Structure 1
């Protein structure tokens, strides 16, 4: 390895085997301590190394003038990784912020960057109003923004990477009265900061404690705010231990780097399933109450009201959405199947009302779904999306296959779905991609191909159901596009409809799409699609938390004991966690068997158990007004979607998709059954 860097302003003498893995030189290190007297601007002191007790792995970090604390550091080899233990002891009552910078030796311009669940490459898909290189090439963020408290820098030229990760118990959080500038915390926190900086053309890892955010903090969707630096109290004689771990390794490309980083994060933080008393049967019984309580029948379309509801009352409204956050048809199918399984006539009757109303009144003149209708405002969205249309077809093909399996046929619906699949073929571009948004006359509104993998699923299903090879050929074309534009470039973007940025759903949908193609093909084709699935799955996995973010007392999510491991961050623009998983756990289980990789199956179980935690039911309403209305915008960091902030939900949510996602999570193997 030719990484040349130092840590904590400390000259580190290492054993030979460690030196081969992590090679440090003194001139590439800086460390500092900022001390704040309330009511005054903080004073920042640079720290220098003094070898301590004639121990080559122990050092004293000293300022050029007297400061009321002692800072020592000890290093140790952890199987080729470098573990750094920094001890701070107060000589009098102080408020402090400790920070470090470590030059990697890589040219900043040669590098791509990674902060899991938040930063990919240079975040150039994101607008300048969100964290990205458009605003700055150096960013520090609080650790709870990230699905693992880690930052990585990958040199494309050197094909090498270096990461730094925080090692702690992460048990505490403190409230603050301000969100910008220098702030004094009300108590003890476990949350530090991490990030990367461009130091005179060289890429550097930066990290410290407690948290900082610079050059901007990110407080809500597309809203950057001034930098923040937190100061924690340390009483006279009190000591705090801070631990980080550094590793360096080779990677063939950015995708390989993400694989290495995820496997390291999984192994380091070792997430285990969350203990829960809710079985799958319990979950479905409570979630099924949403199917009943949310049904709206007084319009030309019958639907489960599941978008833009208030958490305070969960009152139904007149907004019907086929896919995305509404998932009307998938909820109808889930209720239909469950109604038959449990002998619940009300569910079957309600679902058939939905299906019948959409068959009669749910299609546009051209034959697309009326995918978003607001009866309260008398408005039908004239813009279609490949994602919502695809999700509607997906739901109805599941319904038709279930009915056919049970000796029932619906020829009108079959014809509608054939027509829609044929129209999808007309929309597909020669490169295999689909436009993100379009009008009923096929005129393109948004030509971005990020939503393309959502179309792969119904095309593969359509081939299986209708035995039409054109649909499979089209699905394979989408995979060609995904491979060339998204997967091979490690560039997953804009699958969601309400953001233009790097997002979880793009990689998740890409993995699911190639999973479908692997299930329907054999031999070399099967292996090729499986390899693509695996590569995309690591990116999707990188959005899911492998650690438990701490909350302060008084932050509702912490008070009810939420464990964040297994929950996924949403996108660069939307820094909250949610239960978007749908079939991804099935993909992970399948990959685990396909590649003999137990991490996949084990983490799928973490996801499955963790996402049961916020089930609203009597005596455990989780801040939601109605049982079964599973929350959506779960705000776990210093960010809000518009209301309430960390530890709470936004006041508006969309249980239409959360119920649908959890239902598929709790109904594993649907694709394998459909395509067998």
Structure 2
């Protein structure tokens, strides 16, 4: 890429076309101190441009009533096929306005089609393509063509735009990375009666994204940050402008540097993956080493889980419930609700598999008994013999099955009337239309059923290898497989949820979706179960159904980049999110189909899915406020996994679930950087387990918090007020939640690595295969 001055504009070019134009080189946003109608946009030309050995030096000297006397100096230089733009602002004399922000705008491909809907975007975890499942050209969750996010919402502060017409990918990134942040002093505004959403702050966090709101698309960066109306920072229910301004005092100065690059790629997937690969090659991200050995880690995890095991005698409950009801604030470890969940946040049968296997390997008879009782209860009571399905939830206190629909709306499972409204706060009114329909539904999520019946199948095979047959388990497994064969659609897909008679649930549309991508988003979760059942039984019908589902998932979910609906607890404008879990199961499915059939198209799809799954890893240490809990405990975000697009800036350890499979696909594909990401997930997502050697303030060793805020998320929303158990979710804090899935996926990763590689020593595996 080279730099030219064209018609008093800065032009970025490659030999074939103009990549971008900076038509308005100096844009300052002056803040008048108010919350409404408060930003004055001022545009200035360069007053002096000089050629340098490797680029340009451009200066603007301002002296007016808005910016006072301010000097802006921009250095452009070419470096390794990219253009580096270093910007410095010096305030020589203040104007009387309290703050300012520097804005950078680059018109993309100005001589080609460049409307927002013409381009595709990649800035994980904030945006995949356009987050546009209904394909109307707008981002779905905020219904906007202006997607600008804080730097700390990105897994790496880089935003890429890709043109299908030119096959060009244009990226802008922070280089060097943001180095500091703080919690600003936000006063109560007299205008709004709420905390300021616009404020002064010296922070190194900027924002970047694409703005196509006026018909043509510009890469847009702000320093300090600005997210505009499309932010989840302050509230879930309403959107307000949100941003910081640098104090405009004499002697103040600030600077920011961007790297702009472009590459030609044959398709969108390559643009996404090779961008990540190049970051890894350039920065060599390293996660924190484990505080104890992997073996000690799983011992601690299972010991903590065991504290939350519940079983009842026939006299107490004729259903003989048994399972792991872990649901607490990890800081105190006090159990909140005695609910046995299957799949998603509960993963009870996966936990039973982990406990049973550990019990055999360490001669722990108590563990084995508990695991077997948990599995027996699942088969005898949770299995619905008439339809072949499984319930998703059992309430131990009320001695009844229930229906798990909405995650954070979990009170639907145990509260009614005024108590329900009290527990859910403003969210109840916000979601009232959906809640009133869901609360009367009786059925189950496909994903949840598939997760724990797959674990039951593995449990059955493991016990069989140890010499014990469980014919009742196998009968339930095959009965469920029959349900899948009966309900598979002609296109190979399954619906997201079914009623107790096995009919698909499609209402409310806001929850179950109105596009094929949403309605059949969980199809991938069936594939591995069917392929593993085929390996056990050699029944070709199972492999045929899995293969048909594989072709559906490949075409609709992976190739079109329309993965969504893996997370079942959306509290946003839509019931289904683009999330890390909704690409994990297609990856599992493609891998299992390749290993069962050796078909190259399945391996290619597995690699592509793994690349998208890998994109959810955090590749840098986000700066945290020094007074935050995570900063005090020495938290590092590198290697942690992001959760979903709406909640970008929130990370969690779920990606442990796919560590071994990601590593295996990397070995098959000879893809070193993909293997590096499997290692990052293993280390980063195990980082926050409480150990004596590495405390995190949790009630006992082996506990781990569900998630961590490395950016702003709903900090002013009443449902997360400071006086609630889940309050004080500021940047640098945890979400104060602990569920059984956390230890389930952590131990599963260990067993899966041992089964596939005989080791969890990534250096040893790397030396063997790479």
TM-score by length of 2: 0.80
Cα distance in 1 between the residues matched to 2:558 and 2:672: 23
Residues 207 and 221, structure 2, Cα contact 8 Å, conserved in 1: yes
User: What is the alpha-carbon distance in structure 2 between the residues aligned to residue 169 and residue 150 of structure 1?
Assistant: 10
Match of 1:107 in 2: 114
| More moved, 238-247 vs 606-615 | 238-247
Counterpart selection for 2:258 from 205, 230, 244: 244
Distance 1:360 1:271 in 2: 48
Q: Of residues 501, 510, 525 in structure 1, which corresponds to 2:586?
A: 510
CA offsets, 1:250-271, max 9 Å, x none? 2333223222332233334431
Counterpart position of 1:72: 73
The residue aligned with 2:199 is 183
Question: Counterparts in 2 of 1:468-507, with a 5 A limit?
Answer: 468-499=539-570, 500-507=576-583
User: How far is the alpha carbon of 1:362 from its aligned partner?
Assistant: 2.5
Aligned-residue offset at 1:199: 5.7
Equivalent residue runs for 1:188-207 within 5 Å: 188-198=202-212, 200-207=214-221
Q: Any stretches of 5+ residues in structure 2 without a counterpart?
A: 187-194, 404-441, 507-511, 513-518, 571-575, 721-726, 759-770
The structure 1 residue matched to 2:382, chosen from 359, 362, 365, is 362
Alpha-carbon shift at residue 53 of structure 1 (Å): 5.1
How much does 1:460 deviate? 0.8
Counterpart-to-counterpart distance in 2, 1:197 and 1:571: 21
Classify the secondary structure of the residue corresponding to 2:240. Answer: strand
Alpha carbons of structure 1 residues 632 and 171: separation in structure 2 relative to 1, 3 Å: same
1:46 aligns with 2:117: no
Contact 1:519 1:672 survives alignment (8 Å): no
Output aligned runs, 1:224-235, within 5 Å.
Answer: 224-233=238-247
Corresponding residue for residue 89 of structure 1: 90
Q: How many residues align?
A: 662
Q: Tell me, in whole angstroms, the C-alpha distance in 2 between the residues paired with 1:484 and 1:26.
A: 36
Equivalent position SS for 2:227: strand
Q: Do 1:271 and 1:546's aligned partners in 2 also have CA atoms closer than 8 Å?
A: yes
**For residues 47-79 of structure 1, what are the alpha-carbon distances to aligned partners after superposition, in whole Å with 9 as ceiling and x for unaligned?**
322334553511113447363332211122222
2:394 paired with 1:320: no
Question: In 2, Cα distance between the equivalents of 1:433 and 1:670?
Answer: 32
Q: How does 1:127-142 map to 2 (within 5 A)?
A: 132=140, 135-142=143-150
The 8 Å contact of residues 322 and 389 in structure 1, kept in 2 or not, is answered as yes
Counterparts of 1:13 and 1:445 in 2: how far apart (Å)? 53
Q: 1:430, 1:201 → 2: CA distance? A: 40
User: How much has 1:158 moved relative to structure 2?
Assistant: 2.6
Distance (Å, rounded) in 1 between the aligned partners of 2:308 and 2:135: 36
Q: What are the residue-to-residue correspondences of 1:344-355 with 2, within 5 Å?
A: 344-355=364-375
Match of 2:670 among 596, 613, 627: 596
1:648 aligns with 2:733: yes
Distance 1:672 1:121 in 2: 33
Is 1:664 equivalent to 2:735 in the alignment? no
Corresponding position of 1:20: 15
Residue 665 of structure 1 aligns to a residue whose secondary structure is helix
Q: 1:284 to 1:310 in 2, by over 3 A?
A: closer
Bigger mean CA deviation after superposition, 345-354 or 500-509? 345-354
Does the CA-based 8 Å contact 1:12-1:57 persist in structure 2? no
Which residue is equivalent to 1:421?
A: 481
* Cα distance in 1, alignment partners of residues 473 and 495 from structure 2: 25
> How far did 1:220 drift?
6.7
> Deviation of residue 556 (structure 1)?
1.0
- Give per-residue Cα distances to partners, 1:68-121, cap 9 Å, x unaligned: 332211122222111111122332577432111100024213112222101122
Indicate how the Cα distance of structure 1 residues 102 and 425 shifts in structure 2: closer, same or farther if over 3 A, else same: same
Give the direction of change, closer, same or farther, for the CA distance of 1:305–1:5 in structure 2 (3 Å limit).
Answer: farther
What is the CA-CA distance between 1:310 and the residue it aligns to? 6.7
Alignment of 1:219-368 (within 5 A): 219=233, 222-233=236-247, 236-237=250-251, 239-298=253-312, 299=317, 300-307=320-327, 311-315=331-335, 317-366=337-386, 367-368=388-389
Alpha-carbon deviation of 1:571? Answer: 1.3
Q: 2: distance between equivalents of 1:54 and 1:322?
A: 65
User: Are the aligned partners of 1:5 and 1:102 in contact in 2 as well (CA < 8 Å)?
Assistant: no
Contact 1:47 1:64 in 2 (8 A): no
The 1:232/1:256 distance shift into structure 2, 3 A limit, reads same
Please tell me whether the aligned partners of residues 232 and 646 of structure 2 are also in contact (alpha carbons under 8 angstroms).
Answer: no
What SS does structure 2 have at the residue aligned with 1:245? strand
* Structure 1 position 322, deviation (Å): 1.3
TM-aligned CA deviation for residue 11 of structure 1: 4.8
1:514 counterpart SS class = helix
Per-residue deviation, 1:405: 1.9
1:126 positional shift: 8.5
CA drift of 1:239 comes to 4.4
1:644 deviates by 2.0
Query: Quick one: structure 1 residues 311 and 422, their matched pair in 2 at CA, closer, same or farther if it must change by over 3 Å?
Result: farther
2:628 matched to which residue of 1?
555
Pair 5,156 (structure 1): closer, same or farther in 2 beyond 3 Å? farther
Kept in 2: contact 1:4–1:103 (CA 8 A): no
* Structure-1-length-normalised TM-score: 0.90
Distance in structure 2 (CA, Å) of the matches to 1:116 and 1:297? 42
Q: Note if 1:118 corresponds to 2:126.
A: yes
2:122 partner SS: strand
Of the structure 1 ranges 395-404 and 67-76, higher mean CA displacement relative to structure 2 is found in 67-76
Q: Is residue 29–residue 101 contact of structure 1 (8 Å, CA) maintained in 2?
A: yes
Aligned in 2, Cα 1:291/1:346: closer, same or farther, shift over 3 Å? farther
Match of 1:581 among 655, 659, 675: 655
Tell me if the contact between 2:339 and 2:394 (Cα under 8 Å) persists in the aligned partners: yes
Question: Which deviates more, 222-231 or 305-314?
Answer: 305-314
Name structure 1 gaps, 5 residues minimum: none
C-alpha separation between the residues in 2 aligned to 1:224 and 1:126?
22
The 2-side partners of 1:39 and 1:423 are apart by: 60
Q: Which residue of 2 aligns with 1:392?
A: 452
- Matched-pair contact (CA < 8 Å) for 2:3–2:11: no
Map of 2:710 onto structure 1: 636
Cα distance in 2 between the residues matched to 1:669 and 1:617: 22
CA contact (8 A) 1:21 1:81 kept: no
CA distance in 2, matches of 1:25, 1:436: 42
CA RMSD of aligned residues (A): 3.0
Structure 1 CA distance for aligned equivalents of residues 22 and 754 of structure 2: 57
Pick from 152, 156, 180: which aligns with 1:148?
Answer: 156
